[in-house]
Amino acid sequence: MKIAIIGVGYVGLVSGLCFAKKHEVIFVDVDANKINLLNKGRIPFYEPNLNELCRQVSKRAKFTTDLSKAADADFIFVCTGTPTKGNDIDLSHIKNACKSVGKMIRGRNTYPIIVIKSTVVPKTTSSVLLPILEKHSKKKAGNGFGLCVNPEFLREGNAVEDFLEPDRIIIGASTEKDSKLLSDFYKKFFNDVYIAANNLNTAEMIKYCSNAFFPLLISFSNEFAEICERIPDVDVHAVLDAVSMDKRINQKVNGRFLHPGIVSYLKAGCGFGGSCFPKDLKALTSFIKKMNYKPELLQSILSINDSRVQGILNRIEKRLGNLKDKKICILGLSFKPNTDDIRESPSIYMIERLLEKSAKVFAHDPVAIKNAQMHFKDRKGVVFSEDISKALEASSCCIVMTSWEAYKKLDPQIFKEKMNAPLLVDCRRIYDKDIMKDYVDYVGIGLMSSGKPLK
Ligand SMILES: NC(=O)c1ccc[n+]([C@@H]2O[C@H](COP(=O)([O-])OP(=O)(O)OC[C@H]3O[C@@H](n4cnc5c(N)ncnc54)[C@H](O)[C@@H]3O)[C@@H](O)[C@H]2O)c1
């Protein structure tokens, strides 16, 4: 089987390299730098286990900017980005990709299946992409080519494992034939996998519903953090942990709690970021508003999230007063651990607010410094350090923005020794408040902002 991957980003590269365990895969991207790097055996971003996988499958993986090399592919997976423009989904990349794919398959006698893996709002495939493909291929869908939607659910930081051990595969198609061809492909690839076959619009909607559900839990937890912070002796984590033990959430089987993954979203913090949750919520909200429905809940998820960074900053200013020229240490730049992705990262928003207030920012991250340097290349006032001690040195405040393992393992003494005034703002609640109180002035999300940890 020959597979083509169009758009070699997080989703395209991970999916394609996993497919290359069993199939020939041709990767096509318009970004020549990315393709050059990959041809030298280098992965353009940080993702655990991806280097190793790339080495393992290198014989079956080819990287090119030349789409014509993918002309004989049986399955063409379109994985280009779908960012936001204003509040709407920006379909320009995927429309261009479909135009090129349409031209590429023109005149072919085979029946390639074009699979939309990118996240697109409902009706996009049927009413935007299908007409583009038909126009440029001069073929009819269901006759000259097949068309499916197959949203991706991998999580950065865990992407290879997520892809290779999927909980379910969602397939959307408008014909039985296309649905079956893609189902059979996946059934052969994974020996035992649950496949949910749907129409195109439903498959598209499943991805948005999923990407609204998890942020809903996060904003719910953050709303409770705000409530708990206003009440003496209430720690939001004690509250949420106890709620999580409800058997409707955390079932006990053979005397042991299952600790389902959903529980990890019932945690208060500085908000969600990344390349999916914020943009997909914005795109869905805007899409639905155009249909004369005001999605109050979706809007609240976003507005609670949008106010997290400013809310945390207000608490810091209450302690430190004017932040002008104050040295602030930021631990963590990526939107979550085990990735170098800084897209919509709360940490980046925090640094931007601090720079507006003329604070001096010293930031550390185990892998995301390069991306952050690019982001702030035209801005003064932020210094990146690969050494945590140096980032902490002489600072008035340290804000933990990402829950990297390296930060969890820090000896609390380091804050006391290195910092000027050891105010530690733990936005991810990675430290034990009772231990920390002996070393620093500890502020934890969801604890009353009295300045003193509660017993
Ligand atoms: N990143 C994630 O964790 C994740 C998870 C699930 C779903 N998704 C969805 O998958 C899609 C891709 O996301 P991503 O994070 O991999 O994006 P990305 O920005 O990392 O990669 C997209 C790639 O597409 C390339 N591209 C753009 N136009 C092209 C064209 N005409 N032809 C060929 N290549 C082209 C870009 O150069 C880029 O390398 C998005 O719709 C996203 O919402 C992402």
Residue 203 lies inside a defined structural domain of this protein: no
Same domain, yes or no: 220 and 317:
yes
Domain boundary pick from 198, 228, 251: 198
Residue 342's Cα: distance from chain center in Å?
Answer: 9
For residues 46 and 54, what is the distance between their CA atoms, to the nearest angstrom?
13
Determine which helix (DSSP H) or strand (DSSP E) holds 2, and give its type and residue range: strand 2-6
421 pLDDT band, cuts 50/70/90, is confident
pLDDT tens digits for 89-145? 999 999 999 999 999 999 999 999 999 999 999 999 999 999 999 999 999 999 999
Ligand 1 geometric centre to CA of 121 (Å) = 15
Indicate whether 66 and 183 sit together in one domain.
yes
Residue 126 lies in a domain: yes
pLDDT at 431 over 70: yes
Residue 147 to residue 105: CA distance in whole angstroms: 13
CA angle 126, 196, 188 (to 5 degrees): 105
Among 79, 148, 270, 276, the active-site one is 276
Amino acid identity, position 324:
K
Q: Kindly state if the Cβ of 284 falls inside 6 Å of ligand 1.
A: no
With both helix axes pointing from N to C terminus, report the angle between 92-105 and 130-137 in degrees, rounded to the nearest 10: 30
Ligand 1 binding pocket includes 216 (Cβ within 6 Å): no
The arithmetic mean of pLDDT across residues 181-189, rounded, is 97
Phi, psi of 59 (to 5 degrees): -70, -25
pLDDT band at residue 451 under the 50/70/90 scheme: very low
- Best residue among 80, 162, 272, 339 to mutate for probing ligand 1's pocket (most ligand atoms within 8 Å of CB) is 80
**Is residue 373's pLDDT more than 80?**
yes
Helix (H, G, I), strand (E, B), or coil: what is residue 121? coil
Q: Which of 198, 225, 244 is the last residue of a domain?
A: 198
455 is a domain residue: no
Per-residue pLDDT tens digits for 297-354: 999 999 999 999 999 999 999 999 999 999 999 999 999 999 999 999 999 999 999 9
State in Å: Cα 435 to ligand 1 middle.
Answer: 43
- Residues recorded for the chain: 455
If asked whether residues 218 and 186 sit together in one domain, one would say no
Q: Whose CA is nearest to atom 28 of ligand 1?
A: 93
User: What totals of helices (H) and strands (E) does the chain contain, helices first?
Assistant: 19, 18
Same domain, 222 and 190: no
336, 156 contact by CB (below 8 A): yes
Ligand 1 within 6 A of 228 CB?
no
DSSP H helices in 321-366: 346-356
Q: Where are the alpha helices (DSSP H) in 357-421?
A: 369-375, 388-392, 405-408, 413-418
Helix axes 277-289, 200-229, angle to 10 degrees: 110
Residue 338 Cβ inside 6 Å of ligand 1? The answer reads no
Helices (H), 230-345: 236-244, 277-289, 296-306, 308-320
Picking from 188, 4, 240, the residue whose alpha carbon sits closest to that of residue 100 is 4
Greatest Cα pair distance, the chain, in angstroms, is 74
Taking the complete model, does pTM exceed 0.85, yes or no?
A: yes
Query: Where would I find the H helices in 6-66?
Result: 10-19, 32-39, 50-56
Does the pLDDT of residue 452 top 80, yes or no?
no
| pLDDT at 37 > cutoff 90 | yes
pLDDT at residue number 365: 98
Phi-psi region of 327 (alpha: psi -120 to 50; beta: other; left: phi over 0): beta
Which atom of ligand 1 is least distant from the CA of 11? 16
Query: Does residue 93 line the site of ligand 1, with CB under 6 A?
Result: yes
Spatial distance between the Cα atoms of 444 and 433, rounded to a whole number of angstroms: 7
The answer, yes or no, to whether any atom of ligand 1 lies below 6 A from the CB of 208, is no
* CATH code of the domain containing 332: 3.40.50.720
Ligand 1 atom closest to Cα of residue 80: 24
Would you say residue 453 lies in a domain?
no
pLDDT of residue 449: 55
**What is residue 455's predicted lDDT score, i.e. its pLDDT?**
37
* pLDDT value at 154 more than 70: yes
Q: How far is CA 344 from the centre of its chain?
A: 9
The pLDDT of residue 448 is: 72
Clarify whether residues 313 and 383 are in a common domain. Answer: yes
The answer, yes or no, to whether any atom of ligand 1 lies below 6 A from the CB of 118, is yes
∠ CA 362-367-369, nearest 5°, is: 40
Q: Mark whether 349 and 401 lie in a shared domain.
A: yes
**247 and 111 together in one domain:** no
119 C-alpha vs ligand 1 centroid, how far in Å? 9
Residues 357 and 437 in one domain: yes
Q: What distance in Å separates the CA atoms of residue 68 and residue 428, rounded to the nearest whole number?
A: 47
Distance 352 CA to ligand 1 centre (A): 25
> Are residues 134 and 66 both part of a single domain?
yes
Question: Is 34 near ligand 1, meaning CB less than 6 Å away?
Answer: yes
Q: Are 157 and 339 in contact (CB under 8 A)?
A: yes
**pLDDT digits over 274-292, tens only?**
999 999 999 999 999 999 9
Q: How far apart are CA 94 and CA 119, in angstroms?
A: 10
Q: Residue 156: CB within 6 Å of ligand 1? A: yes
Please provide the average confidence, as pLDDT, over all residues in the chain: 96
Mean pLDDT of 13-42: 98
Q: Among this protein's residues, is 276 annotated catalytic? A: yes
Rounded (5°) CA angle 198-18-58 = 150
> Do residues 250 and 300 share a domain?
yes
pLDDT in tens, 46-85: 999 999 999 999 999 999 999 999 999 999 999 999 999 9
Distance CA 91, CA 99 (A): 12
C-alpha–C-alpha distance, residues 198 and 191, integer Å: 21
User: Is residue 168 assigned to a domain?
Assistant: yes
How much distance in Å is there from the Cα of 369 to the middle of ligand 1?
A: 21
- The best mutation among 79, 85, 91, 160 to test binding of ligand 1, ranked by most ligand atoms within 8 Å of the C-beta, falls on 79
Q: Note whether residue 209 is domain-resident.
A: no
Q: What percent of the chain has pLDDT over 70?
A: 98
**What mean pLDDT comes out for the span 264-278?**
97
Q: Identify whether residues 230 and 318 lie together within a single domain.
A: yes
- Measured CA to CA, the distance from residue 377 to residue 399 in angstroms comes to 22
Per-residue pLDDT for 176 more than 90? yes
Count of structural domains within the chain: 2
Shared-domain flag, residues 161 and 297: no
Check pocket membership of 445 for ligand 1, CB cut-off 6 A: no
Q: Which residues pair with 364 in a beta bridge?
A: 331
CB 213 within 8 A of CB 161: no
Distance 9 CA to ligand 1 centre (A): 5
- Would you state the pLDDT for residue 74? 98
Amino acid making up residue 289: K
Asked whether residue 308 is domain-assigned, the answer is: yes
Helices (H), 106-245: 124, 130-137, 159-164, 176-189, 200-229, 236-244
Residue 309, phi then psi, degrees to nearest 5: -60, -45
The alpha carbon of 82 and the centre of ligand 1 are apart by a number of angstroms equal to 7
Answer with the one of 170, 198, 226 that is the final residue of a domain.
198
Nearest Cα residue to 250 out of 238, 261, 237, 239: 261
Six-digit token string for 159? 């992407």
Domain range for residue 6? 2-198
Q: Is 140 helix (H, G, I), strand (E, B) or coil?
A: coil
